[in-house]
Amino acid sequence: MNERVIAMPRPPEGERTRLASAQDLQVHFPRRSGPPLRAVDGVSFDVVAGETFGIIGESGSGKSTLARALVCLQPITGGALTLSGRSPASLSAASLRLLRRDFQIIFQDPRAALNPRMTVRALVAEPLEIQSIGTRDGRRAAVLDLLDRVGLGPEFADRYPHQLSGGQRQRVNIARALAVRPKLLVCDEVVAALDVSIQADMLNLFKDLQDELGLTYVFITHDLAVVAHVSDRIAVMYLGVFMELGSKAQITERPLHPYTRALLDAAPQAVPSYRRVHREPLQGEIPSPLAPPSGCRFRTRCPLAVEVCAASVPAWREVQPGHFVACHRAGEAMVSTDGTDLRSQGVRSAAR
Amino acid sequence: MSLRLSLGRPAAIRRRFDLSSVLAISFLAVVVLASLLAPWVAPYSPIEQDYTQMLAPPSAAHLLGTDDLGRDVFSRLIHGGKASLFGALLAVLVGTLIGVPVGLIAGFRGGWIDDVIGRLLDTLLSFPAIVLAVAITGALGIGLTNGMIAVGVVFSPVLARLARAQAMVVKQELYVDAARSFGATNTRILWRHVLPNAVQPLIVQVTLMLAVALLAEASLSFLGLGVQPPWPSWGAMLTRAYHYMEAAPEQMFAPGLAILLTALAFNALGETVRVLLDPTN
């Protein structure tokens, strides 16, 4: 598979190589009547080569739609998406096919992502065939090599997906994605469908693959423990927009947005460095993206919401280098009544 | 443990080839072989008339008796099988080759292509089947081959609608998105992912249609649009026997049972093929 390097030289390795870049990216789904469903409603971020970019959000926050948009499975309706410095919408079919090699996705449901009528061998060989990588014999060897890389022996090659466990199926999906030697791998809730006992194995596999192959990940999950474990930077998504974005330390130790704090409160044991003073669990459900609340979208569930939150959309501002937040009351204490909450006071002073 | 092991594999095989499929395949093999080897297997000529032996009941000389012109029914049954099987297969083949690709493309592409194809299918389906078949046969010219092509054209919208519905479901599957994310073309997705996963109900429908085609051949022959006298087919024989229902009712049994059993065998065969093609069984 060396010819690939000749065909598409990689950009020079560097700390700040932007693999993917979203500027005010929007994905709206038109409906027969009424306003469109705004699944993703203007998010901006860069994914830098070699990092793991975590996106956390509840069900219905639009994170899966964003994942599909990042690998050109979902056309964007507004803003700009740049992959390897190019806009996928402007590419010819052949160029887009070549670009797709570099941007692969692993889906949440490992069973549904595998054609039930194909053997593991055929499934893993398919990306190679589509991209015309290698000769027939070369592909046969490459399939076994890929299976080995994800921890599956050659005896799995002739099995069908229904004969595999959930974890094994997800390994097959990973092998398929790796077959085309991607630069960026979008992992959409990749461990959510797996038993807890297998989740750790799978996360370690992702880590090993990143070290071996120099992969960049966009890791999308609703599980704070997972995202905090794997990510270098974390974005917090709510109802189609980002609420907060920062390094792992910034998000988990010095969260500014009430929503981020509520998420951290919901899973405290995952982040021991975050010492909770009082818990403020989120109430209610995420509102419908068909009719998002005015102003700040989180205000209907926010313990700090005041009039201004309903009146105006909070700006997406950089409060510290690399730490972005969209909140009128960012960093203010959650329910601090007597001012003894030193953590949040510290945050408040840091934010200003 | 050893008991389970010893029962394991035969049980799996038995599930795939149960009694009905073994019987069906054996029966069809006999029918096909007899039809192909008719000149050597049949005891008499199928068209030689013997006016001393009209509408004779079964006897040692004529196993299934003779028809209204004194022709040996058993010999006509063997010779007629060729025309009937050929006609049924031809009709279903034509129906499949027209209907399945049209339906798959309509369901997969959607949009205005689906609208146009859908209206055309509705138009075809709005005709009574036999009237449409007669009209097409009239246009193509009389004869078994043209008649069964006409039946195939009549079948095609039914298969197209089924294929369209299946394609609409399968194209939503996540593995289609996965293939697309690797850069797969629509042609590849249709051929490798949509068709294999849409094929099961199509196989069932096709085998049901084989049975219907046998009867359609009988209808066309009844109207004089199918096999031309004196050559036999099961449908033609049944039609002829019908005229003598009161004088010699047993005349209807041989072709009638041949059509019935072959139709049943086709259905059982279809079920077997469906099971064999499904790796999850």
CATH of the domain at A193: 3.40.50.300
CB contact under 8 Å between A173 and B193, yes or no, is no
| pLDDT score for A47 | 94
In chain B, residues with a C-beta closer than 8 Å to the C-beta of A114 are 175, 178
Q: Which residues of chain B neighbour A218 with C-beta distances below 8 Å?
A: none
Looking at the fold, whether A290 and A155 belong to one and the same domain comes out as no
- State whether A224 and A93 are in the same domain: yes
Q: Which residues of chain B have a CB within 8 Å of the CB of A72? A: 181
A343 pLDDT more than 70:
no
Question: What is the percent of chain B where pLDDT is above 90?
Answer: 37
What is the reported pLDDT for A16? 63
Q: Do B182 and A130 touch (CB under 8 A)?
A: yes
Of the two residues A270 and A5, the one the predictor is more confident about is A270
Structure confidence at residue A304 as a pLDDT band (50, 70, 90) = confident
CB contact under 8 A, A73 and B192: no
pLDDT at A142: 93
Q: Is A277 exposed, middle or buried (0-12, 13-18, 19+ CB in 10 A)?
A: middle
**pLDDT for B185-198, tens place per residue?**
999 999 999 999 99
Confidence tier at B134 by pLDDT (50, 70, 90): confident
Give a yes or no: residue A37 inside a domain: yes
List the single best residue of A8, A70, A126, A146 to mutate versus B (max B Cβ within 10 A).
A126
In a domain, A26, yes or no: yes
Percent of chain B surpassing pLDDT 70: 94
Q: Which of B170, B180, B181 to mutate to test the interface with A (most CBs of A within 10 A)?
A: B181
- Answer whether B191 touches A (CB < 8 Å): no
Mean pLDDT across the stretch A86-107?
Answer: 92
Q: What pLDDT is attached to residue A242? A: 93
B178 CB neighbours in chain A (<8 A) are 105, 107, 113-114, 173, 176
Lookup: tokens for B251: 């005349």
| pLDDT higher than 50, residue A5 | no
Rounded to the nearest angstrom, the minimum Cα separation between B279 and chain A is 6
The H or E element that residue B14 is part of is helix B2-16
Asked if A104's CB is within 8 angstroms of B279's CB, the reply is no
Residue to test with chain B: of A115, A120, A159, most B Cβ within 10 A: A115
Query: What residue of B is the nearest CA neighbor of A163?
Result: B280
C-beta atoms of B175 and A97 within 8 A: no
Chain B residues 141-180 within an 8 A CB cutoff of chain A: 173-175, 177-180
| Closest Cα in chain A to B172 | A112
Flag whether residue B280 sits within 8 Å of chain A, measured between CB atoms.
Answer: yes
* Confidence (pLDDT) at A173: 95
Residue B89 to chain A, least CA–CA distance (Å): 27
More confident residue, B53 or B134: B134
Contact flag A126-B181 (C-beta cutoff 8 Å): no
Q: Does A14 score more than 50 pLDDT?
A: no
- Give the closest of B180, B182, B280 to A116, CB-based: B280
**Is there a contact between A113 and B174 if contact means CB atoms under 8 Å apart?**
yes
Same domain, A156 and A298: no
User: Which of A79-83, A261-265, B3-7 has the highest average model confidence (pLDDT)?
Assistant: A79-83
Same domain, residue pair A304 and A226? no
Q: Considering CB atoms only, which of A98, A115, A173 is closest to B193?
A: A115
pLDDT value of residue A220? 93
pLDDT band for A333, please (50, 70, 90 cuts).
low
pLDDT for the residue numbered A4:
40
Per-residue pLDDT band at A306 (split at 50, 70, 90): confident
The shortest CB-CB distance from B177 to any of A73, A98, A160 is to A73
Q: Is the pLDDT of residue A352 over 60?
A: no
Q: Are residues A187 and A333 in the same domain?
A: no
Q: Is residue A237 part of a domain?
A: no
Place of tokens 């797709």: A100
Are A164 and A276 members of one domain? no
What distance in Å separates residue B192's CA from the closest CA in chain A?
Answer: 9
Question: B231 or A25, which is more confident?
Answer: A25
Is A222 a domain residue? yes
| pLDDT for res A347 | 41
CB-nearest partner of A105 from B181, B196, B277? B181
**Res. A265 pLDDT band, cuts 50 70 90:** confident
Residue B10, chain A, CB below 8 Å: the answer is no
Both A115 and A174 in a single domain?
yes
Same structural domain, A59 and A10: yes
Residue A278: what pLDDT?
56
Mean pLDDT, residues B128-155: 88
In this complex, is the C-beta atom of B274 within 8 Å of any C-beta atom belonging to chain A? no
Domains of chain B: 28-277 (1.10.3720.10)
The tens digit of pLDDT for each residue in A152-176 reads 999 999 999 999 998 999 999 999 9
Task: Quote the pTM value.
Answer: 0.80
Complex ipTM over 0.85: no
For A200-251, write each residue's pLDDT tens digit: 888 999 999 999 999 999 999 988 888 888 899 999 999 999 999 999 999 9
Of A162, A196, A231, the domain-final residue: A231
A81 within a domain of the structure (yes/no)? yes
Specify the higher pLDDT residue, A151 or B218: A151
**A110: closest CA of chain B, how far (Å):** 9
Range from A13-17, B105-109, B111-115 carrying the lowest mean pLDDT: A13-17
Q: What is the mean pLDDT of residues A131-145?
A: 91
Residue A286 vs residue B177, higher pLDDT: B177
Supply A170's token pair: 């997800």
Three-state SS annotation for chain A:
CCHHHHHCCCCCCCCCCEEEEEEEEEEEECCCCCCCEEEEEEEEEEEECCCEEEEEECCCCCHHHHHHHHCCCCCCCEEEEEECCECHHHCCHHHHHHHHCCEEEECCCCCCCCCCCCCHHHHHHHHHHHCCCCCHHHHHHHHHHHHHHCCCCHHHCCCCHHHCCHHHHHHHHHHHHHHCCCCEEEEECCCCCCCHHHHHHHHHHHHHHHHHHCCEEEEEECCHHHHHHHCCEEEEEECCEEEEEEEHHHHHHCCCCHHHHHHHHHCHHHCCCCCCCCCCCCCCCCCCCCCCCCCCCCHHHCCCCCHHHHHCCCCCEEEECCEEECCCCCCCCCCCCCCCCHHHHHHHHHHC
Residues A54 and A192 in one domain: yes
Output the pLDDT for position B248: 81
Task: Note the pLDDT of residue B12.
Answer: 53
Asked if B184's CB is within 8 angstroms of A101's CB, the reply is no
Judge if A324 and A220 occupy the same domain. no
For A101, the closest chain B residue by CA position comes to B182
Res A209: pLDDT: 92
Q: Which of A68, A72, A130 sits opposite B184 (nearest CB)?
A: A130
Give residue-wise pLDDT tens across range B51-93. 777 777 888 777 787 887 878 888 899 998 888 999 999 999 9
Mean pLDDT estimate for chain A: 84
Q: Render pLDDT for A27-56 as a digit per residue (tens, 0 to 9).
A: 999 988 888 888 999 999 999 999 999 999
Residue range(s) defining the domain that contains residue A43: 3-231
pLDDT at A341 exceeding the cut of 60: no
Averaged pLDDT, A86-115: 92
Task: Identify the band that residue A337 occupies on the pLDDT scale cut at 50, 70 and 90.
Answer: very low
Which residue in chain A has the smallest CA separation from B173?
A112
The partner residue sitting opposite B182, judged by closest CB among A109, A118, A126, is: A126
Residue A239 belongs to some domain of the structure: no
Nearest to B180 among A73, A112, A162 (CB): A73
Residues A261 and A227 in one domain: no
* Count of CB pairs separated by less than 8 Å, A with B: 65
- Domain assignment present for residue A83? The answer is yes
* Residues A214 and A260 reside in one and the same domain: no
Residues of B in contact with A100 (CB under 8 A): 181-183
The pLDDT of residue B101 is above 90: yes
Q: How far apart are the first and last CA of chain A?
A: 52
Does residue A268 sit within a domain?
yes
Q: How large is the average pLDDT for residues A21-31?
A: 92
What total number of domains does chain A contain? 2
**Are A77 and A35 in contact, with CB atoms under 8 Å apart?**
no
User: What residues of chain B lie within 8 A of the CB of A176, using their CB?
Assistant: 178, 182
